[in-house]
Structure formats: C-alpha cells, structure tokens
Chain A
Amino acid sequence: MRVALILFASILTSNIALTYFLGMCPFVTMSKNIEVAIGMGLAVTFVMTVTATVNWIINTYILIPYHLDFLQFLVFIITIATIVQIIEIAIDRFLPALYHSFGIFLPLITVNCAILGISLFMVLRNYSFRETIFYSFGSGVGWLLAIVTIGGLRKRLIFSDPPENFGKAGITAILAGIMALAFIGFTGVASL
C-alpha cells in the first residue's frame, strides 16, 4: 500500500519537475518539440530507475557499513556517469534503432540534476529497496508527463501573443507555474 502511495505521489502531487524543480534546464530548453520531449523523458525515466537502484545498493552495502557516507555525493555522481556510459554502449551495440531515437539524449543526462536529486532524496527519506524502485520509476514518469505536457502547451503559443519581453524562458516559466497549480490540486489525495 505504501508503495502504491509513493508511486502515485511521485507522479502527480510531488512531481519532481513542478514541485521540486529538478531537471529544469532540459525542461526549458528541450520542450519546444514534443518528439524530442518524449525521447528525453523516456531516457530520463530509464536512467533514473537504474541509477537510483544501483546507488541504493552501493549506499546501503558499501558506504554506510564502512562509514564512508561523507563521500555520498562523489560516489553517486561517478556511478551515474559510469552507468550512463554503459547504457549508451550497450544500446548502441544491441539496439541500434533505439540508439538513433534516444541515444543522443543519454550524454546530457549525466548532468541532469533530477537524476542526482532522486538519489539524494532516497537517502534523505530512508527509503527501502522496494520503495526506491517505485519512487525513482514514478519520478521518471512524472518528469516525462510534465515535459510532454509543457511541450504541447508551448506549441499553442504559436497562436497566442504574449508580451514580447517575456522571451522564451519567461513565458515557459509562467506556463509551468499554471501547470504546477493544477498538479498541486492532487495534494489532498497523497503527498510525500
């Protein structure tokens, strides 16, 4: 039951993009085109689930027993960089068609703060192994949902005429704000 709650909350009420502002750089720069947004979102979901799980194992079985938890940030970022490299090589070797559709997004993911953020939240909230898997997967889906929705909203901007001084980033921030208001409406149901 708790697992289902975590999954629901991480997708909707505690959405990492709209409530915790993680992964904002690609959220603004890569949401101009829906296909690109979907590719990036899927890549983030996949990498997030794998890295959070591996980081949980490393943190629980290596860092904490040997009192090395002050190295958490360093170890987490190295793990993420390594895993992204391995995934990239593996997809290129075994699934070349898939590589052409979302392989180009993989190198960008290393510096996506959402990926590191999930590993840090997992430590702060003392999640168990099962909770970590559901939390990281749910957060990835939530991010995908947010970036695809804003991609669709930005397409509609072609037909509207916002104040020129907003620029691209300003109007995207306002759109994201309105979306965040809608997502916050679920807070009564469940939140983290």
Chain B
Amino acid sequence: MSTNIPKDITDTSGGQAENNKSSVELKTPKPGYKLFKTKSWQVFIEGLWHNNPIFGMVLGLCSTLAVTNLMKNALVMSLAVTAVLILNSAIISVMRSVIPERVRMITYMLVISTLVITVDKFLKIFVPDISSALGPYVALIITNCILMGRAEAFAINNPVKISVVDAFGVGLGYTFSLMSIALFRELLGFGSIFGYRIIPENISTLSLFSIPPGAFFALGVFILVINAVKKETAKK
C-alpha cells in the first residue's frame, strides 16, 4: 500500500529526475554491482543508516518509546509512519515549485495532518484493536519531527523519484529501530515474539521492560549497541 501510490506520481514527473542539483552530499560510489552505484541507492543507504531517525538524528522518540512494548504495535506504527513519510515527501516534492517559501512550514503541517487523518481512519477500520492500543500516538505522527525534517531537508529541494527513495530509506530505518527495540522489550518483558510465547512458562519474565521505565533502558542500550557497531565498521 505504501510503495505503490508514490510510484504513479514518480512516473508522471520522472523526466526531471535526472541532472538536478541535489542538496545531499554523496560519497563516491564503491565498486560493486551496478545497483549499488546508482544515486538512488546512495540516498537510500544514507537515509537508512547515516541519517537514521532514531540513532542518527535522535528524532521522533515519543512514538519509539511508547509503542515498542509489543512487536505487533511497533510494526503497525512503523508502517503508518513509513506510509505517511513516503506520501508526504512525494506530495511536497511535486508541489515544491508552487509552495511559497514563507508558508512552507504550515503547508507541510496541513499535508501531514491530512495524511495522518487518513491513516488513522484506515487503521480504525482494518485493525481496530491495535488502533485502540496505539491510542493517541498515531495522531501524534503529525508532530513527529522526522516528517517535517525530511520535507524541509530533502523533499523541498529534490525531484520526486529521489525524494521517495529518501523517504523510503528513512522509513525503513525507523522500522528497523522500532522493531529491534520492540523485539528486545517483548522478549524480556512478556517472553514472547509477536504474541507467541518463546520462553517457557515456568521462567518468570522481567516485567520491568513492559512498563515505561524499561522503554528508556531499552533505548539507551540500543543506542549503545549501535554506536559500538558503528565504531567497529569505521575501523575496517
């Protein structure tokens, strides 16, 4: 659902996608497969890893902490954010020449609010139980800094195709972070994965990880692990 719609928009204005001055600094491509040399791939990896919203830029923490007690909730939330992110980037990018500079912030906000209302209604109809478990956090996607950030830092200066790729990369990075934290919290807090009990019943679980303070600890440990991995890869 999330990837099909923007593709149509990309096709209609794909002509201007090439030879446009980009606002991102791209590193020289490493030798390898042809796919890995393309600019889209570079932008995608940049969004997924270096500009990862959670551990790279430390944005959008509210939802990260609140919905990661169960993997089911985290998955629905990250899909919702990714969908809004891609659609928002596509819309802002299409309209980038007609948005007056002075009112661009309020434009982002109105586009994002409209998309979030749509996503919220969609979730209420198709997954009502998860929608009520997420509570106000779906609506709070409106004030999620990741969306405004990507619109302002990327979509407003770049053609549609590359903006959608960037949004997809950032969305996937957000999904990866949320799912990792949720896996950790659900396994320790409830002893299960996606609701299926993994740890035997007679072993008691650490319920600390299913309550709010556990979310902070899980996030702290997650950032610690990622930074250690980053350091290791930088050494190589």
Contacts and interface: CB of A to CB of B under 8 A. Distances in A.
Interface stretch (B7-15, B24-32, B153-161, B217-225): B217-225
Contacts of A115: 143
B220 A184 contact: no
A66 to B, nearest CB: 17
Contacts of A111: 143, 145, 148
Given A165-B228, A176-B216, A181-B213, 18 more contacts: A21-B215, A24-B61, A25-B62, A25-B145, A74-B110, A113-B143, A115-B143, A116-B140, A117-B62, A120-B136, A124-B135, A165-B224, A165-B227, A167-B227, A170-B224, A177-B213, A177-B220, A184-B213
Contacts, number: 112
Contacts of B211: 184
B117 A71 contact: yes
Nearest to B144: A113
A29 B60 CA distance: 12
A180 B212 CA distance: 7
Contacts of B51: none
Nearest to A16: B62
13 contacts: A18-B212, A21-B215, A25-B60, A29-B58, A72-B139, A73-B142, A77-B142, A81-B109, A113-B62, A165-B231, A170-B219, A178-B213, A180-B213
Given A18-B212, A177-B216, A166 B139 contact: no
For the complex of A and B, list the 7 residue pairs with the smallest distance between their C-beta atoms, beginning with the closest: A177-B216, A170-B223, A120-B136, A24-B61, A173-B220, A180-B213, A174-B220
A165 to B, nearest CB: 4
A2 B136 CA distance: 23
A163 B55 CA distance: 16
B79 interface: no
